[in-house]
Amino acid sequence: MLAEAHFAGVLFAPIVLYGIAALPITLVLCALLWRSGFMRLVWHLPLFELSLYLCILSLLVLLF
Amino acid sequence: MTARSRSSDAFPASARLWQVAATALPSWRTLSPTVLYCARTLLAVAIALYVAFWLQLQSPSSAAITVLIVANPVNGALLSKSIWRLFGTIVGAATAVLLMAAFGQTPLLFFISFSLLIGAACIVSTLLRYFQAYGAVLAGYTIIIVCAPAFADPENVFPSAVSRLAAVSVGIASATLVFLLTSIRSPSRLSDATLSLVRSAGAALGGYVLPPATGSAWRQTGPGSLPPDIYDARGQLLSQANALGEIIEYAAADSYAVAERADALRHGAAGMMGALSSLHPFYPRLGPDDRVAGEIQNAIQALQEISAADPGPVLERLAEIRDHLRDRLDETQLALPDLTRLAAIRRVHDLLSRLHQAAACLIVPGRSRRARRTRPRLRQFLDWPTALRNGARGAIVTMLACLFWYVTQWPSGPTLLAYLVPAACLLASNPSASQASVAFATGTLLAVPSSYLCETLLLPQISGFPLLIGAFAICLLPGIWLQFSPRHGLRAFGYVVFFSAMITIRNPVSFDDPALINGWLAYLVGAASLVAVFHALLPADPARDSNRLSHALARAVQRLGHAGHLPDVTVWEYLRMQQVLRLIQRMQPMDASLGQRVIDCALMSIELGRDVLRLRVLLAGAVLEPPERDAARDCLRAISRLRRDPAAAGARIAAAATLLGAHPVPPPVLLHIAALLQEMAVLINESAGFLGKDFEVLDAG
């Protein structure tokens, strides 16, 4: 797991960095899922996208 | 009277009372959207406050205020506003830190720089649209919100900036999560809006170009001569087409599929708005015995049957009718050349083409990327004079407020600045800012007694977070309920935002009566100043703005007569229609019949501009004899000097039309040009006053 980061003297908890890193990954995945037509099968899109984001965030915390 | 008869009388009375109550109170179906919206907003406020307290943020109420500002029943609008609020806060907070670092010890330089930045923010905000404009103005007034706690100790500016950013982020996250997770998938607003516009516009335009029913005919006698129901329909349709732009933006923010089609949708909306510009008195209408009338009727019928699920057959039928009209046009050109009928059929063919193209862009899904690359880029109209006026007003009011605080050394001066500057910036780009300032100030004044009751009666009685939220909910509920009411919306918005700002909730809550009362006084002075600002400081002048827009329209037509770059007709038309929409807005306080005449002339000028573009395209591709080509080019030269003497230009163009139409064996393109020139002459002659450089709106009566 990453240690806390600092930028210009401001300390950031690692979860903030993981959270920021998970965002573009989620956006790209959502775009791919839209293109493939999978999103049209989803019942509640915001709930799905939030769940996807949390899964990617958890994966990043697990792997890095 | 016996006991039995007494009881039998009482029962019908209560039943009658119940009946009256049931009819007087609105039904659950009407109330439920507002009730659900209030519940979701209060839930988001509760979560935002809880998280803000848990994170021990400096100003937890900023999180609650953020929720109240970004909350919107339309998910796309909520997302769009949230994104731009976050962006504006980052830019504003960073600018505040830089400003305090540079001028922390020199107040006057700080005030000057701050005023200039506020002016710049107001200028940018006026030039942008939708929530991008909000983001720009937020970036400006975030500076005072971040710097206000740091004036006494400039080193605190960075923690203040980070705290503000954190509070706004918490509020946005809370509002977004609650609203998106509790949203129910409902029929698409965008789909309903586009279908409604296509059907209504088709019906209005088709009804307009068709021959009038027996006994209801009216003759064109000049601008302002249309029947009142056509003016009403035109106003509604233009508002609908304009509102479609906003719906497209919000739907694109909410849905990836719509974002892919957004460019096509915008072109469709622009095309539909351009088609609506044909609703003016001098649009040539078909004769009652015209064979083409039946085909137009079929086209209108087809448009009424269009649906989002399967638009293909309707669009194919429209295309067939359009192609039939083109064949009729060719037949008419080859047969007895009647220039007026030729012009009428050509315009109807053109109108059908535009309706078909707009409907296809709006309704057919899955437009290809290749089509996107071939579509010209639509330009937004930039109203620089209004932007500069708003910027100047914003800078002046900021400077005056800062100097007032500097001279009086009033301890609550930062509170005054933190109210007056944001309120003045937010209302700057409102079309009726002086009225809006009164509504906004009234809402703020209502928040004062409400916050007094909350601080002195409710908060001392409570302990624990649930009771705190309960107290908040009681006070906020009226404002949230009325937030989207057309009549009370702005008042309610001012109430909820500044009630939350006045309530100084911290953990633990502390009660400081002198500071509270000083704060309320600052808000009272700020509210009074806000009203004074928009009435006294560079107030909007509808007549001056209307003149400016009218002259801009005439100049745009004149420029088309010059040789040079040929603009795309959709892009040119869209820019002009944006100017017409602003003209309609500016002329609303004036006499209705004056407004109708001026708008008729404005739409005729757009029709004239389209004709000039068409003429230039025809001349570029046609093979004409030198005398005929010179006559046509002479017309373009007349257009390039249109504003000097519109009547003379009209006469020259009419003479050229007669000359070209008198050709013994005219080729089709020559007849086409002659019909076009005849129409142009009619449009110029009937709107000569509007097109002249001395036109004054108030003299058009």
Q: What is the mean pLDDT of residues B8-22?
A: 64
Q: Is residue B113 scored above 90 in pLDDT? A: yes
Convert the pLDDT of each residue in B507-527 to its tens digit: 667 777 888 888 889 999 999
Stated as kind and residue range, the H or E segment containing B629 is helix B626-640
| Residue B180 to residue B204: CA distance in whole angstroms | 38
CB spacing of A31 vs B75 below 8 angstroms: no
Q: Is residue B599 scored above 80 in pLDDT? A: yes
Question: What pLDDT shows up at residue B643?
Answer: 94
Nearest to A30 among B177, B181, B256 (CB): B256
Q: Considering chain B, what percentage of its residues have pLDDT values greater than 70?
A: 90
Beta bridge partners of A5: A12
Q: What is the mean pLDDT of residues B18-31?
A: 71
Question: What pLDDT shows up at residue B200?
Answer: 86
Question: What pLDDT shows up at residue B337?
Answer: 62
* A44 contacts on B by Cβ (under 8 Å): 181, 185
Minimal CA separation from B255 to chain A, in Å: 9
Minimal CA separation from A63 to chain B, in Å: 26
Minimal CA separation from B676 to chain A, in Å: 47
Q: What is the mean pLDDT of residues B257-274?
A: 88
Q: What is the mean pLDDT of residues B214-240?
A: 77
| Residue B37 to residue B43: CA distance in whole angstroms | 10
Which amino acid is it at B21? A
Q: Is residue B505 scored above 80 in pLDDT? A: no
Q: Which of B200, B275, B235 is nearest to B595 (CA)?
A: B235
Winning range, highest mean pLDDT, from A8-12, B452-456, B649-653: B649-653
Nearest to A31 among B75, B183, B256 (CB): B256
* A23 contacts on B by Cβ (under 8 Å): none
Interface test with A, best of B97, B170, B256 (most A CBs within 10 A): B256
Chain B residue with minimal CA distance to A44? B185
Q: Is residue B271 scored above 80 in pLDDT? A: yes
Binning chain B into helix, strand and coil, the percentages to the nearest 5 are: 80, 0, 20
Q: Does A44 touch chain B (CB under 8 A)?
A: yes
The pTM score is 0.87
| Residue B404 to residue B396: CA distance in whole angstroms | 12
* B185 contacts on A by Cβ (under 8 Å): 43-45
| Residue B113 to residue B109: CA distance in whole angstroms | 6
Q: Which of B437, B380, B375, B443 is nearest to B582 (CA)?
A: B380
Question: What pLDDT shows up at residue A60?
Answer: 92
Q: What is the mean pLDDT of residues B662-677?
A: 84
Interface of B with A (CB under 8 A): 75, 162, 177, 180-181, 183, 185, 256-257, 260
Chain B residue with minimal CA distance to A51? B181
Q: What angle do CA B382, B539, B444 make, to 5 degrees?
A: 100
Question: How does residue B577 score in pLDDT terms, banded at 50, 70 and 90?
Answer: very high
CB spacing of B177 vs A50 below 8 angstroms: yes
Nearest to A34 among B180, B181, B257 (CB): B257
Question: What pLDDT shows up at residue B217?
Answer: 52
Q: What is the mean pLDDT of residues B23-34?
A: 76
| Residue B205 to residue B203: CA distance in whole angstroms | 6
Minimal CA separation from B97 to chain A, in Å: 13
Interface test with B, best of A20, A34, A38 (most B CBs within 10 A): A34
Question: What pLDDT shows up at residue B8?
Answer: 47
Which amino acid is it at B28? W
Nearest to A34 among B162, B177, B256 (CB): B256
Question: What pLDDT shows up at residue B87?
Answer: 95
CB spacing of A50 vs B181 below 8 angstroms: yes
- For chains A and B, CB pairs below 8 A equal 22
| Residue B351 to residue B404: CA distance in whole angstroms | 59
* B256 contacts on A by Cβ (under 8 Å): 30-31, 34, 39
Nearest to A47 among B181, B257, B260 (CB): B181
Q: Which value does ipTM take for this structure?
A: 0.80
Cα separation values, B449 from B85, B98, B452, B530, Å: 29, 38, 5, 19
Mean pLDDT in chain B?
Answer: 86
* A45 contacts on B by Cβ (under 8 Å): 185
Question: What pLDDT shows up at residue B336?
Answer: 54
CB contact burial A45-58 (16+ within 10 A = b; e otherwise): bbebbbebbeebbe
Winning range, highest mean pLDDT, from A4-18, B44-58, B252-266, B512-526: B44-58
Integer-rounded Cα Rg, in Å, for chain A is: 14
Question: What pLDDT shows up at residue B1?
Answer: 44
* B183 contacts on A by Cβ (under 8 Å): 46
Q: Does A52 touch chain B (CB under 8 A)?
A: no
Neighbours of B646 (CB within 10 A): 24
Q: Does A50 touch chain B (CB under 8 A)?
A: yes
Chain A residue with minimal CA distance to B159? A10
Q: What angle do CA B440, B446, B53 make, to 5 degrees?
A: 95
In this predicted structure, which of B81-95, B175-189, B587-601 has the lowest mean pLDDT?
B175-189
Q: What is the mean pLDDT of residues A6-16?
A: 76
Integer-rounded Cα Rg, in Å, for chain B is: 30
Q: Is residue B667 scored above 50 in pLDDT? A: yes
Beta bridge partners of A11: A6
Nearest to A46 among B162, B183, B256 (CB): B183
Nearest to B180 among A30, A34, A46 (CB): A46
Check: CB of residue B191 under 8 Å from CB of residue B247: no
Cα separation values, B561 from B354, B570, B616, B628, Å: 24, 18, 9, 17
Q: Is residue B27 scored above 80 in pLDDT? A: no
Interface test with B, best of A45, A50, A52, A54 (most B CBs within 10 A): A45
Question: What pLDDT shows up at residue B38?
Answer: 92
Question: What pLDDT shows up at residue A7?
Answer: 72
Tokens of B585: 């807005």
Minimal CA separation from A38 to chain B, in Å: 12
Convert the pLDDT of each residue in B439-494 to its tens digit: 999 999 999 999 988 888 888 888 888 998 999 899 999 999 998 888 898 999 99
Q: What is the mean pLDDT of residues B583-589?
A: 90
Residue with token string 């009630």: B499
* A47 contacts on B by Cβ (under 8 Å): 180-181
Convert the pLDDT of each residue in B304-363 to its tens digit: 777 666 777 788 888 888 888 787 777 766 665 677 778 888 888 888 888 888 888 888
| Residue B502 to residue B495: CA distance in whole angstroms | 10
Q: What is the mean pLDDT of residues B279-295?
A: 72
Check: CB of residue B293 under 8 Å from CB of residue B210: yes
